Amino acid sequence: MKSAPEPLTWRDGAYLDDLEAPTVEATHDVDLDDLAGIDGPSCHSIPHLAKEAAENSTSEVLSRFKSRVLALVNNSTQTLILRIATATDPQMLWEIHLELDKRDIQPCLRWPANRDNEQMTLVTFMADMFWFTKRNQSHTAAFKGWQPLLKMTPSSEAWMTKAYWVFRSMNKGNLSRAMQRPLALTKTQCQQLMLSPTAAMYRKRQQLEPARFEDLRQTLCSAAQANRYKPKGQNIGKVADDRLTVWRVFLLSGDSPTVAAKNWILLTGEPITRQAITKQIAAIKTTLKKQAHLTGRMMPETDDDQNLVWE
């Protein structure tokens, strides 16, 4: 396996189904954001943001934004994923997600989700929905209010307006439940998305929080250093980083070596086999088991769990 790039440190609600959004034909040129009342909504649709920018920005500012969007294609996949967590402009966050979607990078692999505020959470929700509706147009949602999203053209203005209305109507107390039930998501579909993990998936993703990820790195470094059979001059830090990156991709791939191998290639451009992933994961689990025995802590969870967050 080629040397890996730097480690990736990127880090109940029910849908109000009886509250139907006006159809695009019925609203004509009415901006749904304007229906929120005198104080305005806490977030806006992407079309509304684009319209607002066009009205309030100079041609130079708009040109610079378009140039930055065009330049995204030159960013590495891992750079784009790192940018998600730190993005502050919702329009740019949306464009980054669209570029990653073109590269067939599942939303779960873009972890951690940007949920700095409701506006950024909306964009993250839209990224999930864009991925899902684009690839599951024959899927039947459990709640009729969601079904139009599967019939419209993903990322069209009508689609984005509908996604905005659906998001506004959701109970934000548990977004996972608020997406799983209306969409009738399978476990595999939950795995692929950012905002609808099962309870077990969420616990695994917590292992990727920066502080816990760094603790794991130190554990892997110590194990590599203590290996009496390590090659002379071996770069201990790189060994730990390589394994850490594989572990991250494995967890976000549903603990499947086959899926992890496919995702590894998409993320890095480097070939790797299912057998190589399996070997690396076995070594990591052995290290974690030894560490757990020494410290009395439980090993990080990787076993399947059928219980959904909303059950």
pLDDT digits (tens, 9 = 90+) for 187-240: 999 999 999 999 999 988 888 888 887 888 888 887 777 766 566 666 676 777
Whether pLDDT at 77 is above 50: yes
pLDDT at 32: 39
Residue 111, classified by CB atoms within 10 Å of its CB into exposed (0-12), middle (13-18) or buried (19+), is: buried
CA distances from 116 to 55, 83, 93, 122, 241 (A): 26, 13, 12, 10, 28
Domain regions of the chain by residue span:
37-195, 202-295
Question: What is the model's pTM?
Answer: 0.79
pLDDT at 93: 97
Whether pLDDT at 61 is above 60: yes
- Tell me if 4 sits within 8 A of 242, measured CB to CB: yes
pLDDT digits (tens, 9 = 90+) for 129-154: 999 999 999 999 999 999 999 999 99
pLDDT digits (tens, 9 = 90+) for 243-271: 888 999 999 999 999 999 999 999 999 99
pLDDT at 129: 97
CA atoms within 13 A on the CB side of 273: 3
